Structure 1
Amino acid sequence: MKKNLRIVSAAAAALLAVAPVAAGTVSTVSADSGLSARAANPSLYTLSAGITVNNAESINGGEPVDRLSFSVHLNGANTSVSTAGVTAPQDFEVYEANSNAVTITDGVAAVNSTAVPVKTLRANTDYIVVNRSVKFTGLTKGQLYNAVVNGGTTQVKATDDGTTAGLILTQAFRTSARAMMGAPYVYTRSDNRRAAAGSVGLVKGFYNVDAVVNAINAKYRVGVDTTGIADAANGTIRGEFTQLTQDVRDGLSKAVAINSDGTFAKPSAPITFPVNIKAGSNTDVFNVTVYPDAIDADFSFPRIRFAGDAAGVVHAGSGDVVNVDGEGFNYVALNGTVNVPLIMNRFSATMSETNGTAIPVKVDTSKVNTKVAGVYPVTVSATNAEGKTSSVVFYLTVGDAGATYTTVQADIDEVPVYNISGNVVTDTKTTVKNGTPVVTFGTVTVNGKSYTRINSADSTKFVETKYVDGSIKPVAATPKKIMHNSYIYDKDHKRVGTNTLAAYSTVNVYGTTTKLADGSLVYKIGDNQYVMADNIDGTARVLSHNAYVYKTSKKRADRRVLKKGATVVTYGSPYTFKNGKAYYRIGGPKKQYVKVANFK
């Protein structure tokens, strides 16, 4: 199944995203078109279509437009619209992207009545291809559908013959800047065609950074122009995504809050961001658009069935929540054991929609804490021979089935559980995850601090009251890289434990920088646990002399000479080398140091 190609350049993206419908345009919207610019209606089935530009990378300037090859394709449709298709005449027009010839509002495209299509193409230039008569087919007469087209969502109505009125479909693309030997490019795995930009959808409400990364990796690969070029130092050059997980996290975080475990709330609109690619020393970026809902109908995922569901209910993809009320495994006694064999007995799976071969299910109970009465998610999954995984979630209760639950709300991921005997408070080393519903039974105050009893009325287990009385506003975790080996301190600047956070490792911080009792600037990383901000953000210092960058006391890290007056970010306290001289760490992860004496 062909996939839609999205905006290829920043200029084209800006044009299609924000340009208003200009006066003197010819729009697809009319009284009888059945098309309206509205937000997606969750009660309607969704259709998606796009245009593929097959060979823009072969254009080097001076070629006629008919040298290009275009095709209109169905990106996907709701599985309940299995007969859906798309059709269009082979009448494509190409306009320069910066000419205001084409404008888009909420997915509805319009072409300026005075716009003139180009006839000859230039190299390294942004264009927009247009087809004015695209129709969805195989629909139900008179029914409304969400149509994901032109980077937005509109609503279309099926006519008496099960099609839609003609609508304008567009696609931005850029011609080649002349192929650079060894340059990276992205292509789709399904048909090995180059992709000017990418698009993936989120499956059934499962919103997670890893899910987006997996979707991109499943759909796209990075190739190299003039493949098989020999590199004396590194062998054959291969194309790759250089830091895909970080790029996805950074891109999504501009539109949604990312939790410490990589999850996020369902986006209200598509999110477009660049990801980095490389081949040898050549680098580039590839724009990816993430849609809040699935954009492809995929029948190749495993099918999971729960014996307690109504007949015919099948789960595919990720994100479905199963109601297990009344099942023998949905309640576990405090300090008891989850009945995994019974769970596996009640769930089953088959290879795919078209392959009924049975495959085993896996049960993940890692988030269940049987030491604390609460409500916890359990995931049941199945992976087929193609490596595709479907999963469902159900919620299991630990403790009294009739208890009243209070949700833990914290500015950290894990809340400590304490044992209190008289006026002695002891850390049990057990924690409760932020957001977990727990059973509470009144409060006690020890040494001026309030604690709330959990598990049972006579339990000796407590959490700090501030985490269950609603007084703390949850704060999303932000992953940051540690640039200098770091101790962990409490609020009084006393070291916590003996562990050291290693340089170049990643740690979750909560909120912005704060100060300890002695004024030290820190980041919060846990309950009364902090790390020095200078070990993460560094300090900007000005060089008073030209400076070399070293990796040891005798060897330089590279050929750079940092100039007098330049500002350099250093991390943490200085290191003293074997030669007795002090050095600041800069950058990484390769060893890079500059003499302290070279700074003002």
Structure 2
Amino acid sequence: MNKKIKIISLASAAALLTIAPVTVSTMPVLADTESTTPTPVNGDSYFTCNGKKLSNRAIAPVGNGIAIHNGETLGDILKSIQTAVPFHSKLNQDQVTQSNLETLEIALSHLKGVTVSGSGPTAVVTFDANTVINTRISISGQAEYSYPSVYVTLTNQSTDNASPVINFSYYQNGQEVTDSLTQQVFQVAKGSNFNSLNFKDSNGQEVKFSAIKSLTNDQSLSIKVDENTVDTAKAGSVGEVKLTASNSNGDKTSVTYKVLVQPNNGLHRLGFQGYVAAYRIKGQEVTKVDQIYAGEGFYIGKDTQIVNGNTYTRVSTKAQTDADNSSNNTWMLTNDVMTPSVEVFEGTIMHKALVYDAGGGSKVRKLADFKKMLFQKEPYIIHGTKYYKIAGAPDYIKATNITGTKRTLKHNAYIYATSTRRADRQILKKGTKVTTYGGSYKFKNGKRYYRIEGATKPHKRYVRVSNFE
């Protein structure tokens, strides 16, 4: 992991879609930190709901959620949100409005069964009659020195107070907690018995589900299990459960939750979008203390916690025993742990290499030749050029410096160690394909040479550029 950072601001855009329930932010980054804990409102810029001020990063009390309808535009949906949870500020909100539209587009387009056609306020959201939407997102406003945000729930289910409510309860810190079910995530042990309405999580704590007739009527209702794809025999797999409750008035509420089967012990490397946060948890306070980059190795523990509606899993970059140790206070969102694994390979930098960012911009930093490093196996194409990403770092190296480029000789060629000395007596024949690395070198004799396959730090191997087609 990287150096610890004190929490003072919002999550970066690289962490999009990493919070469960779905929480995204595309706001400008004031600092590389994040808190999911509500903080007091300061100044004259704030959100309200039903006429009451909301704390920063609070969950807006909008009942069962803000309704979205098939065929609505992103602009219509954002207007509904702004009506239910208005932001009060003297500052112009054009920039943050655009960011919130992008947040909506990303959040909704990643939901199963939902399609977003177009972009910006006129983009149209469509879904069929069997699609269930119950997702929570983060909406931001622009204050003078910060970007306050609140969570709102979006749903295509009934949002009036007469609709059934599905709850779940669990034990944490010796107390039973009950909360409404909205795109929740759970983690269970491999091989455990799983009942969609009553199971034990990987901590061994019981999780059970119940339903009531409405927000104003706590009469119990039965729950129907519409779908269950959880397979506890498969470590690291992710299943989904869909539940429905109906009352005598004909109102119906359907919700889904996901279940991660705890991955096997050992080092894991996951393919995040850039990086994800690592947190420290103290009571209901969640503080970002670090970040884990795509491909970085870490261990996944059995312990989970639910704080402010988000589920976290204990992790460690040190050892499996540390990931399973209750004294270790490092956590990741369980939703991030569900990210698919990435393969890595050990490669040698065969030509001194510039380091680039994800957009192909130079970081004005070089890595020495013949240095061995771990790279993600799947290459990236940036502006038409092939790169490999360094595992566990936000750095990209041109592939030609690592795996090289195949070139065909148009003449027989000697292999040189220097401009005046041959590396050996071998002669490479015309028509031979030879792997070269990086750009060419200009030697003291004024001629240009490529470093070729088989070169090592003590044994240089070069062929003149003029010998290749």
Task: Compute the TM-score of the two structures, normalised by the length of structure 1.
Answer: 0.26
Task: Compute the TM-score of the two structures, normalised by the length of structure 2.
Answer: 0.32
